[in-house]
C-alpha cells in the first residue's frame, strides 16, 4: 500500500489559506504524502510544503437547469438562537469537486500511489483524530475492505460524508464513472432517473459505489461513528455562500420567519471578506414604507432588525443600485430565538 492525502481547496481568503497551511504541516509531521489540487492559484510557500500541487484555472460550475433540487439548511448558531437560511441545495461547485477528484486520482495512480484519503481543509482535527486517521489503512486491511466511508442517513435518502474518506484508487476509479464535465454528469443522472434530477456529489459517490449494499467497503455511521472516531474535531469551520443564489452577490439580505411574536426579521449575512452596506426599502401591506440600512463589516458578520408590521416586499440596494426585490411569499428561512 502506498497512500496519499488528497486535498481540494478553493483558497477564497487568508483564513482559508492559514487553515490549509496548518493542515499540510500537520500531515507532513505525520509523514503523509500530499496532493493538493485547487482552482485558485497556489502560493509558492504552500506548494513547497506538498509533494504535488495541481492548479486548474477552470473552476467548473453547474450551469444548466435541473429538477428535484431539495432545500439546504445553511444554519449558524449565535448567542440568541439559530439562523436557518434555507436555499435550494444546488451545488454549483459540486461539478468542480467531482472533476478535480477524478483528475487528481488518475494522476496519483500514475505516480504510483495505490490508496488515498481525502480531507476537507476547514476541518479542525484534534490530536486524537490525527492518531485515529493513522490506523484506518490497517483497519481496512484487517477487515479486508477496499476503503472506509462515513454514510449519512436521511428520510429522503443517503449520502457519504466528504469530511473524510479512504479508498483503494483503482477500485474507486473502476467503480465510480468518471466525470470530466457537466455533460458526463447529465448522462449519468439521465440514465439513473430518466430526467435531469439534480444529484449532489455526496449522493453521487454513495450511489455509484453502491454503498447501500457493498461488502467491499467499510461503511460507518456519519452522525455517530464520525463523532466518536474523530473525537473533538470541529467540522465546517468555514462559512461559504457557494450555495446562495448569485443575486445576493456574496451577501444575503432577506426575510426570515421567527418564533418571536410572529415578527418578521430582515437579516443581512456577509459571506465575503469585505465591508458591505445594504440599503433596504420595506413595503408594508398597509401601504407605508420604511428605509433601513444594514452594515456588515466582514465575512461571517451579520445584523438584523425585527418588524411587527406585515411586510409585502423588500427592495435591496448597494451603492445606489437595485440588486433585487423579494416578496413576502414562500419564506422558508427562519430564526429560532432561544433568548428574546
- How far, in Å, CA of 214 to CA of 227, rounded? 23
Tell me what pLDDT residue 308 has: 94
**Per-domain boundaries in the chain:** 3-59+91-229, 246-337
Above 90 in pLDDT, residue 13? no
- What pLDDT band is residue 244 in, cutting at 50, 70 and 90? confident
3-59+91-229: CATH topology is Spore Coat Polysaccharide Biosynthesis Protein SpsA; Chain A (3.90.550)
Please tell me the predicted confidence (pLDDT) of residue 36. 98
Mean predicted lDDT score pLDDT of the chain = 93
pLDDT at 239: 67
Can you give the pLDDT at residue 35? 98
Average pLDDT estimate for 241-252: 83
Lowest mean pLDDT among 60-64, 86-90, 188-192, 196-200: 86-90
Under 8 Å between Cβ of 16 and 89 = no
- C-alpha cell at position 155: 428520510
Confidence of residue 307 (pLDDT cuts 50, 70, 90): very high
Mean pLDDT to the nearest integer, 65-93: 84
CATH of span 246-337: 2.60.40
pLDDT greater than 80 at residue 281:
yes
Q: What is the pLDDT of residue 294?
A: 98
Residue 262 φ then ψ, to 5°:
60, 20
Q: Is the pLDDT of residue 34 over 70?
A: yes
Per-residue pLDDT tens digits for 186-220: 999 999 999 999 999 999 999 999 999 999 999 99
Q: Over range 140-167, report the average pLDDT.
A: 92
Residue 74 in grid coordinates: 445553511
Instruction: Give the distance between the most distant pair of CA atoms in the chain.
Output: 71
* DSSP state for residue 289 in the 8-state scheme: E
Question: What share of residues in the chain are helix, strand, coil (percent, to 5)?
Answer: 25, 35, 40
Q: Is 239 left (phi over 0), alpha (psi -120 to 50) or beta?
A: beta
CA distance 137 to 241: 35
Q: What is the pLDDT of residue 240?
A: 67
- pLDDT recorded at residue 92: 84
- Contact (CB, 8 A) for 280 and 274: no
| Contact between 226 and 239 (Cβ < 8 Å) | no
The sheet carrying 334-337 orders its strands as: 71-78, 81-88, 334-337, 251-258, 264-270, 302-307
Positions of E strands within 79-146: 81-88, 115-119
Alpha-carbon distance 338 to 332, whole Å? 19
Statement: residue 140 has pLDDT above 70: yes
Mean pLDDT of 41-51: 97
Give the pLDDT band (50/70/90) at residue 318: very high
User: Looking at residue 83, what is its pLDDT?
Assistant: 92
Amino acid at each position: 500500500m502506498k497512500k496519499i492525502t488528497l486535498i481540494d481547496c478553493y483558497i477564497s481568503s487568508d483564513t482559508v489559506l492559514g487553515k490549509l497551511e496548518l493542515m499540510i504541516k500537520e500531515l507532513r509531521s505525520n509523514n503523509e504524502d500530499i496532493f493538493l489540487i485547487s482552482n485558485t492559484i497556489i502560493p509558492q510557500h504552500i506548494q513547497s510544503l506538498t509533494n504535488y500541487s495541481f492548479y486548474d484555472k477552470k473552476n467548473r460550475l453547474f450551469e444548466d437547469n435541473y429538477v428535484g433540487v431539495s432545500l439546504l439548511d445553511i444554519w449558524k448558531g449565535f448567542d440568541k438562537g439559530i439562523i436557518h437560511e434555507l436555499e435550494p441545495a444546488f451545488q454549483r461547485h459540486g461539478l468542480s469537486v467531482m472533476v478535480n477528484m477524478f483528475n487528481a486520482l488518475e494522476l496519483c495512480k500514475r505516480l504510483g500511489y495505490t490508496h488515498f484519503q481525502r480531507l476537507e481543509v476547514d476541518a479542525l482535527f484534534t490530536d486524537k483524530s490525527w492518531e485515529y486517521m493513522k490506523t484506518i489503512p490497517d483497519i481496512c486491511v484487517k477487515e479486508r475492505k477496499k476503503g472506509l466511508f462515513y454514510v449519512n442517513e436521511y428520510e429522503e435518502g443517503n449520502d457519504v460524508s466528504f469530511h473524510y474518506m479512504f479508498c483503494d484508487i483503482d477500485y474507486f476509479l473502476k467503480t465510480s464513472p468518471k466525470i470530466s464535465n457537466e455533460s458526463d454528469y447529465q448522462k449519468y443522472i439521465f440514465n439513473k432517473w430518466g430526467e435531469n434530477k439534480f444529484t449532489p456529489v455526496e449522493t453521487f459517490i454513495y450511489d455509484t459505489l453502491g454503498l447501500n449494499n457493498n461488502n467491499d467497503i467499510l461503511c460507518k455511521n456519519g452522525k455517530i461513528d464520525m463523532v466518536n472516531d474523530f473525537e473533538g474535531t470541529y467540522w465546517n469551520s468555514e462559512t461559504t455562500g457557494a450555495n446562495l443564489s448569485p443575486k445576493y452577490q456574496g451577501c444575503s439580505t432577506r426575510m426570515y420567519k421567527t418564533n418571536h411574536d410572529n415578527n418578521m426579521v430582515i437579516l443581512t449575512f456577509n459571506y465575503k471578506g469585505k465591508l458591505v452596506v445594504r440599503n433596504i426599502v420595506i413595503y408594508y401591506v398597509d401601504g407605508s414604507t420604511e428605509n433601513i440600512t444594514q452594515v456588515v463589516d466582514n465575512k461571517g458578520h451579520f445584523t438584523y432588525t425585527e418588524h411587527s408590521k406585515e411586510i409585502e416586499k423588500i427592495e435591496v440596494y448597494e451603492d445606489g443600485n437595485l440588486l433585487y426585490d423579494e416578496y413576502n411569499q414562500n419564506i422558508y428561512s427562519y430564526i429560532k430565538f432561544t433568548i428574546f
